Amino acid sequence: MSMAAASSILMIAGLVFALGSIASLAEARAFFVFGDSLVDSGNNNYLATTARADSPPYGIDYPTRRPTGRFSNGLNIPDIISQQIGQSQPPLPYLSPENNGQRLLVGANFASAGIGILNDTGIQFLNVIRMFRQLDYFEEHQRRVQAIIGPQRTRQLINQALVLITVGGNDFVNNYYLVPYSARSRQYSLPDYVKYLISEYKKLLMRLHKLGAQRVLVTGTGPMGCVPAELAMRGTNGGCSAELQRAAALYNPQLVQMLQELNRKIGKNVFVAANTQQMHMDFISSPQAYGFITSKVACCGQGPNNGLGLCTRLSNLCPNRDQYAFWDPFHPSEKANKLIVQQIMSGNTNYMNPMNLSTIMALDSIVS
Ligand SMILES: *[C@@H]1O[C@H](CO)[C@@H](O)[C@H](O)[C@H]1NC(C)=O
Ligand SMILES: *[C@@H]1O[C@H](CO)[C@@H](O)[C@H](O)[C@H]1NC(C)=O
């Protein structure tokens, strides 16, 4: 066989391989992620901010054993959802230099630790990607995809995509309750603040839908008063912070109501509420049932409950992360993230409203 024939066979083999990998990338639906540190996969690595998770021991149980910017010992919630919907790779942080070419078709992660529904949430973290900017980036992403596959297929890719949005916790922890007599707490009573948050969130979600999103998982806040940081700083008689629990109890049901209202207006179940409060409460009320030795003490941290300050190289670090519901003072461990996604996939209507992700997948595969 001549060199030319051999190399053209190689070229054909290469082409077939390339087409094959494009097909496998296109097999799973695209996945877009918006929100805060609970879902940030590393955007803040590229920003001048103090809200970052790019040094050890973050990532200690990640496949590479290296920090990535995820606020977890290993995988975060978007990683696990991405696996569940059949993607071979999770969407990259939007700011990653590798987020180019065919990778854009997988989706993107726009989330940024420290942000909230409101622009003034997380101002202490300086340069973070606030919600309106995440949505601007979503538009920019669509223009970049259009340049590759054209406007019509881009529209289809966006319409068929799964979207996850996790935001709101910081509007309490890093705004209203950040300091005593915060500006927002002087401006609003808690019930009025919750109403204001919900009305601003509604505007963001309407813009997301207008930009083409048709299936959006919206998580509520967790039981904010029960995270190790709050147990350490303002626990009530060693228990959860009553004030933050009151905030979560007011906010979460109104969020579900607002989503139902939006769905009625649109005439389709675009928005699906994930009751992360209940999912967390399950392992806070009976950690042993889920294989945890505690849900009150963070694996990585210092001070009471390992709940004070940041998780750094100098912090206490537990030997087995799977035994802890909380990895650091605010964020669940990979094990807890897996349990949460399990409920997102197949939980009943106490957890997922109006339906779980397996039902969404089944419905959407029939439609398309
Ligand atoms: C946040 O800031 C952006 C840009 O300045 C603005 O368009 C948007 O309306 C602001 N959102 C709120 C809730 O104030
Ligand atoms: C959720 O998912 C499971 C499949 O894992 C299904 O059997 C169940 O009926 C679903 N529940 C709801 C409420 O959609």
* CA of 5 relative to ligand 1 center, distance in Å: 61
Report which of residues 72 and 236 the model is more confident about: 72
Q: What is the pLDDT of residue 238?
A: 76
Largest CA distance in the chain: 82
Question: Does residue 58 have a pLDDT over 70?
Answer: yes
Question: Does residue 283 have a pLDDT over 50?
Answer: yes
Q: Which residue of the set 241, 280, 328, 333 is catalytic?
A: 328
Of 15-24, 83-92, 265-274, the one with minimum mean pLDDT is: 15-24
Tokens of 4: 């030319």
Question: Does residue 10 have a pLDDT over 50?
Answer: no
Q: What is the pLDDT of residue 9?
A: 47
Instruction: Report the percentage of the chain scoring pLDDT > 70.
Output: 92
Tell me which residue has its CA closest to atom 4 in ligand 2.
Answer: 346
Question: Measured between alpha carbons, how far is residue 288 from residues 284, 306, 325 in Å?
Answer: 9, 19, 10
Q: Is 359 in the pocket of ligand 2 (CB under 6 A)?
A: yes
At residue 323, what are phi and psi to the nearest 5 degrees? Answer: -90, 0
Q: Please tell me the distance from the alpha carbon of residue 280 to that of residue 219, in angstroms, as a whole number.
A: 12
Q: Helix, strand, coil: what percent of the chain each, to 5? A: 50, 10, 40
- Rounded to an integer, the average pLDDT of 119-129 is 94
Report which of residues 33 and 3 the model is more confident about: 33
Q: Is 350 in the pocket of ligand 2 (CB under 6 A)?
A: no
Q: What is the pLDDT of residue 23?
A: 42
Question: Does residue 21 have a pLDDT over 50?
Answer: no
User: How does pLDDT run across 306-365, given as a tens digit for each residue?
Assistant: 999 999 999 999 999 999 999 999 999 999 999 999 999 999 999 999 999 999 999 998
Q: What is the pLDDT of residue 234?
A: 86
For the whole prediction, is pTM greater than 0.85? Answer: yes
Known catalytic residue: 37?
A: yes
Q: Which residue of the set 37, 82, 112, 315 is catalytic?
A: 37
Instruction: Report the percentage of the chain scoring pLDDT > 90.
Output: 88
Q: What is the pLDDT of residue 236?
A: 75
* CA of 357 relative to ligand 2 center, distance in Å: 8
Sign of CA dihedral 99, 103, 109, 110: positive
DSSP classification of residue 33: E
Residue 57: strand, helix, or coil: coil
Q: What is the pLDDT of residue 279?
A: 95
Please check whether residue 145 is in contact with residue 80, taking contact to mean a CB–CB distance below 8 angstroms: no
Picking from 85, 104, 86, the residue whose alpha carbon sits closest to that of residue 94 is: 104
Question: Does residue 147 have a pLDDT over 60?
Answer: yes
- Rounded to an integer, the average pLDDT of 172-177 is 96
Q: Please tell me the distance from the alpha carbon of residue 110 to that of residue 33, in angstroms, as a whole number.
A: 6
Q: Please tell me the distance from the alpha carbon of residue 328 to that of residue 305, in angstroms, as a whole number.
A: 10
Location of structure tokens 């009150």: 296
Ligand nearest to the CA of residue 347, numbered in listed order: 2
The answer for residues whose C-beta is within 8 angstroms of residue 266's C-beta and 6 or more apart is: 209
- Rounded to an integer, the average pLDDT of 131-137 is 98
Ligand nearest to the CA of residue 136, numbered in listed order: 1
* CA of 117 relative to ligand 1 center, distance in Å: 10
Q: What is the pLDDT of residue 164?
A: 98
Known catalytic residue: 136?
A: no
Q: Please report which confidence band the pLDDT of residue 237 belongs to, taking 50, 70 and 90 as the band edges.
A: confident
**The length of the chain, given as a count of residues:** 368
- Rounded to an integer, the average pLDDT of 276-284 is 93
Please check whether residue 116 is in contact with residue 170, taking contact to mean a CB–CB distance below 8 angstroms: yes
Known catalytic residue: 328?
A: yes
Q: Which atom of ligand 1 is nearest to the CA of 131?
A: 1
* CA of 365 relative to ligand 2 center, distance in Å: 16
Please check whether residue 22 is in contact with residue 104, taking contact to mean a CB–CB distance below 8 angstroms: no
Tell me which residue has its CA closest to atom 7 in ligand 1.
Answer: 132
Ligand nearest to the CA of residue 120, numbered in listed order: 1
Tell me which residue has its CA closest to atom 14 in ligand 1.
Answer: 119
Question: Does residue 29 have a pLDDT over 90?
Answer: yes
Q: CB within 6 Å of ligand 1 — which residues?
A: 118-119, 132, 200
Please check whether residue 73 is in contact with residue 59, taking contact to mean a CB–CB distance below 8 angstroms: yes
* CA of 359 relative to ligand 2 center, distance in Å: 6
> How high is the mean pLDDT of the chain?
92
DSSP classification of residue 238: T
Which string of DSSP letters, residue by residue, matches 210-236? HTT---EEEE----GGGSHHHHHHH-B
* CA of 341 relative to ligand 2 center, distance in Å: 13
- Rounded to an integer, the average pLDDT of 72-87 is 98
- Rounded to an integer, the average pLDDT of 279-301 is 96
